[in-house]
Amino acid sequence: MKVCLHNSYRYQDGRISLMDVLSLDELKGSVSENTLGAEPFLQFQNVYIFPGFVDVHVHFREPGFSYKETVRTGSLSAAHGGYTGVCTMPNLDPVPDSPEHLAPQLEAIRRDALIDVRPLGAITKGERGEALADMEALAPLVAGFSDDGRGVQSAEMMEAAMRKAKSLGKIIVAHCEDELLRDGGYIHDGEYARAHGHRGICSESEWKPIARDLELVRKTGCAYHVCHVSTKESVALIRKAKAEGLDVTCETAPHYLLLDETHLQEHGRFKMNPPLRSPADREAMIEGLLDGTVDMIATDHAPHTSEEKSRGLAGSAMGVVGLETAFPALYTDLVRTGILPLEKLIACLSDNPRRRFGFPLGRDFSVWDLSIAEKVDPNTFLSMGRSTPFEGMELFGKNLLTAKDGRIVYYAHSHA
């Protein structure tokens, strides 16, 4: 199906311009196949058109863990959330540390992806930190390199990876976590952990590896991106590095911007890595977003089975889903409250990740009614994952349609 927009689909400098509220009398799209109902036109009123969002940190679980998510269901959930491009993390089976091991994922993407799905290759073989992956052979096939889920523990190994990535013109996407400092923790080492007898993860386990890596960026000149920043110290380090002119970007996630340890409950849907931190850390994330230290928002969409997320804070698997709630949650809590301009939010969801990771915009867009408020019901998700800390919250913003390269990949039938 092709959707052909009229002059409501504006371009500026080769990109879709951000819209104020359109207040369109009608947004019509002609479709090549009449599969959307009796009428061949789509009609909306009082909508916003946004450039397609890009999430540079998702877990689609295929190959190896397709019982949690597949490329097909992951891309469906992305389209539902207004995303037209994603980068998938390499903690799969097999780990994509060589073209041979990457091949099953590329085949699944070719066969089933509805949007632009770009894999990240592993930094080290098997993500074990012992030897570099076949980065040279992988480079033409991947968006960058990461050992997400573990992080490279050795400074020497990370320096070697940065030098190789620099020579290949590729970015290092770093999961920054010192496993020794984590010391068996599973929520933030703060007031909630102490009050409820939980093992805590200290903030230093995140910011200390970032400090180490920034020194290596100074030595190597490598392009470097920090995953899921969650502590105030991390933001301060990255702010300083940017002021020095280092080639550094970073992301945070919606849950670190909107929630903190005061929101914790004894349920697995509040368990992720990094954990929900202190209120001061959350404020630092927002400040970093406002001043440009935090470049983009990525969901770290991490589906697990209901059983894996039903064992409370101590026993549940790490990770929550986020593609289908990201924009409504951020719009409701940051834009409607006047904390963040809408244009800034869209830049962090689309323009900034596109520029950093090389996603062209093309004819990628989504159509939103920002006046609609709905309670988050995980049973309506298109992802196989159902665990979200936003469950039950009333959020504004409903996606009516997502198009990738002018083709409709998500359509809310009730709004035809």
**254-265, pLDDT tens digit by residue?**
999 999 999 999
Give the per-residue pLDDT at 32: 34
Q: Where are the beta strands (DSSP E) in 179-265?
A: 187-188, 200-201, 224-226, 248-252
What count of Cα atoms within 13 Å lies in the side-chain half-sphere of residue 323?
36
Residue-wise pLDDT for 146-170, tens only, equals 999 999 999 999 999 999 999 999 9
Task: Note every long-range contact of 3-12, with CB atoms under 8 Å and residues 24 or more positions apart, other chains counting.
Answer: 3/29, 3/30, 3/31, 3/42, 3/401, 3/403, 3/406, 3/407, 3/408, 4/29, 4/30, 4/406, 5/29, 8/49, 9/49, 9/365
Residue-wise pLDDT for 364-378, tens only, equals 999 999 999 999 999
Give the per-residue pLDDT at 42: 61
For residue 306, pLDDT beyond 80: yes
Where residue 125 falls among pLDDT bands split at 50, 70, 90?
very high
Q: Give the type of residue at 359.
A: F
For residue 18, pLDDT beyond 70: no
Give the per-residue pLDDT at 21: 26
User: Does 300 participate in catalysis according to the annotation?
Assistant: yes
Residue-wise pLDDT for 231-247, tens only, equals 999 999 999 999 999 99
Provide the 10 A C-beta neighbour count for residue 354: 23
Torsions phi, psi of 6, nearest 5? -90, -155
What integer is the mean pLDDT of 12-17?
34
For residue 43, pLDDT beyond 90: no
Preceding amide of 94 cis, omega within 30: yes
What integer is the mean pLDDT of 13-39?
34
Measured CA distances, 114 to 70, 79, 118, 384, 412 (Å): 12, 8, 12, 16, 16
Give the per-residue pLDDT at 24: 30
Q: Which CATH code fits 53-361+384-394? A: 3.20.20.140
What percent of the chain clears pLDDT 90, i.e. is strictly above it?
86
Q: Give the type of residue at 213.
A: D
Give the per-residue pLDDT at 313: 98
3-state secondary structure of 181: helix
Preceding amide of 104 cis, omega within 30: no
Measured CA distances, 116 to 78, 110, 113, 148, 243 (Å): 10, 10, 7, 20, 33
Read off the tokens for 77. Answer: 């959930």
From the list 177, 174, 159, the residue with the least C-alpha distance to 221 is 159
Question: Looking at 30-44, 110-124, 356-370, which range is the least confident one?
Answer: 30-44
Q: Are 193 and 200 in contact (CB under 8 A)?
A: yes
What integer is the mean pLDDT of 52-80?
98
Q: How far apart are the C-alpha atoms of 329 and 256, rounded to whole Å?
A: 12
What integer is the mean pLDDT of 45-73?
96
Q: How far apart are the C-alpha atoms of 416 and 404, rounded to whole Å?
A: 19
Question: Looking at 29-33, 80-84, 236-240, 282-286, which range is the least confident one?
Answer: 29-33
Q: Are 48 and 368 in contact (CB under 8 A)?
A: yes
Question: Would you say the C-alpha torsion 108, 111, 115, 116 has a positive or negative sign?
Answer: positive
Q: What is the mean pLDDT of the chain?
A: 90
Give strand pairing partners of 146: 122
Instruction: Provide the whole-model pTM.
Output: 0.91
Q: How far apart are the C-alpha atoms of 224 and 227, rounded to whole Å?
A: 10
Where residue 41 falls among pLDDT bands split at 50, 70, 90?
low
Q: Give the type of residue at 240.
A: K
Q: Are 148 and 57 in contact (CB under 8 A)?
A: yes
Q: Which one is catalytic: 148, 213, 295, 300?
A: 300
For residue 33, pLDDT beyond 80: no
What integer is the mean pLDDT of 2-7?
32
Where residue 45 falls among pLDDT bands split at 50, 70, 90?
confident
Q: Are 30 and 376 in contact (CB under 8 A)?
A: no
What percent of the chain clears pLDDT 70, i.e. is strictly above it?
89
Top-confidence residue, 203 or 33? 203
User: β-strands 365-375, 48-51: how paired?
Assistant: antiparallel
Q: Are 176 and 151 in contact (CB under 8 A)?
A: yes
